[in-house]
Amino acid sequence: MIKSRREFLCRSGAVLSALAFADVLERFRALDALARPAPQAADFKALVCVFLEGGNDGNNMIVPYDDYNAPGGYASVRAASGLAISKSSLLQISPVSQAGRTFGFHTNMTEMQSLFNQSKLAMLCNVGPLAQPLTRSEYMSGIGHPYQLFSHSDQRNLQQTSVSSSLGQAGWGGRIADSLNGINGSAPLPIAMSLAGTSLFANGTLTRQLSLPPAPSSLSNIFYIDDVYSAPEETAIRMAVLRGIQANPGASTLAKSFSDTSTQGFLTKEVFKTEPVLPPLQSGQIDFPATTPGNQLKQVAKLISLRAALGMSRQIFFCQFGGFDHHGNQRTGATSQESLLQQLSQAMKAFYDATVNLGVAQQVTTFTLSDFGRTLEPSGSGSGVGSDHAWGNHQLIMGGAVRGGDFYGTFPTLALSGPDDADARGRWIPTTAIDQYAATLAAWYGVASTDIPTIFPFLGRFATANLGFMT
């Protein structure tokens, strides 16, 4: 029985995250949102976050082609160690706003090059956590430092909450969902869902995310209450207890939380009694790669395919793909950045194709985040070469509503101790804040202009609230 109880708790807990602990201010904001009438939407939109856990090296994801051999620049710093991508292998692109300059995607991102050239993909350059606009001289003087720079756990928090001065308790995806509380009416699934366990990004004050398994796990088998016990009479007793708590949780916060969670679990099980099946392309089945990002994004596509049947006008998804902390072996091996970027590129392209096939390419926007960028200066050399924790980074934004084929933000000057360097190793001081990135997506998603400053309290410190990369 002890083993059975453990199994029951583990399986139940894997379905939905517990209630978020939010600070007092966020609770007041949530109560205010509840007091207002729920916003109405006649269309469908979805945001899909792909978090590159570990700190993706943006310096090798996108490389200046024209200035490849500039004195003190990319090749000058990285070539001798073996960290540089060869110029001849770069996948060339010409961003509209870059005055005729040519850049190159990493060798293994052919799908991203194709989408960029089709104007379905954009790049946001040198974005990161900022408490205020910041110059090198101000940073060197100790002004405006975000909380705990270069720390994995702290910077993941800042990226996912957009709170740059301290550790946030609610993610910006969750806060966007809070602002649209009730928009999906009586739909049986919550607005925010994670394919990578419980995420901070999708955690709000009102919003309790649904944690679902990635493909190839079947969505029809995600809730196991009625098959935990082999003896029918034991199952019946446990089910009766559950139903009793659901009906009368009493004053206990824990019991109320358990009641809400288990009730949502039963609803979810009913939704997924039949496994969603993606419709085939006219020329054949969509080829999702059997990789971590491929499996997660395939599951997202299935969930989007249910939008009409479930009556959902808004969805928010969180995916996570790990292994990007390359202090060494960045260029070689099965877990190298070379391999990971190829997996990312293939999975994102397959997902975009799925949104086209489902007729929602204009209504689904996929974007990346990561802990931080990496130093331009290498760490080590030869087959073991890598890079260290840095700050500003480049992010991908994909979808039919994206003003693609272009760069947004400001591409940094690739020079050690240069105007964008926080020290002497090529740690780029962001010229665009996460707040601006997130607020631009929120505005497209349908968040009221009056709510955006509340969701992103630092936004007013920056000159531009909307970066213009969405139609």
Domain containing 200 — which CATH number? Answer: 3.40.720
In-domain check, residue 260: no
- What integer pLDDT is reported at residue 11 of this predicted model? 41
- Cα–Cα distances (Å) from 120 to 47, 112, 232, 305, 394, in that order, read 15, 9, 53, 21, 17
pLDDT digits (tens, 9 = 90+) for 238-249: 667 766 766 677
Q: Does 227 fall in a domain?
A: no
CB neighbour class for 196 (10 Å; exposed up to 12, middle 13-18, buried from 19): buried
- 4 falls within a domain: no
The mean per-residue pLDDT over the stretch 98-126 comes to 97
Q: What is the pLDDT of residues 66-81, one digit of tens each?
A: 999 999 999 999 999 9
pLDDT at residue 277, as a whole number: 82
137 Cβ partners below 8 Å, 6+ apart? none
- 174/17 Cα distance (integer angstroms): 13
Q: What is the pLDDT of residue 21?
A: 31
pLDDT in tens, 358-380: 999 999 999 999 999 999 999 98
If one counts every other C-beta atom within 10 angstroms of the C-beta of residue 340, the result is 24
Q: Provide the domain limits for residue 217.
A: 37-222+272-461
CB 351 within 8 A of CB 120: no
As a whole number of angstroms, the distance between CA 301 and CA 366 comes to 12
> Containing H/E element for 398?
strand 393-398
pTM above 0.75, yes or no: yes
Q: What angle do CA 450, 183, 172 make, to 5 degrees?
A: 55
Write out the two tokens for 152.
């994995």
26 within some domain: no
| Residues whose CB is less than 8 angstroms from the CB of residue 230 and which lie 6 or more positions away in sequence, other chains included | none
**Ranges 127-136, 167-176, 211-220, 328-337: which has the least confidence:** 211-220
Answer yes or no: is pLDDT of 3 > 50.
no
The answer to whether position 235 is within a domain reads: no
> Does 318 fall in a domain?
yes
Q: How many domains does the chain have?
A: 1
Residue of higher predicted confidence among 201 and 267: 201
User: What's the pLDDT score for residue 256?
Assistant: 61
Residue 80 phi/psi, 5-degree rounding, is -60, -35
Question: Among residues 214, 191, 213, 212, which one has the least CA distance to residue 203?
Answer: 191
Q: What is the mean pLDDT of residues 25-33?
A: 43
Query: Is 41 domain-assigned?
Result: yes
The residue whose two tokens read 């993706």 is 56
Calculate the average pLDDT of the chain: 87
pLDDT at 335 over 50: yes
Residue 231 located in a structural domain: no
H/E segment holding residue 64:
strand 62-64
CB 467 within 8 A of CB 435: no
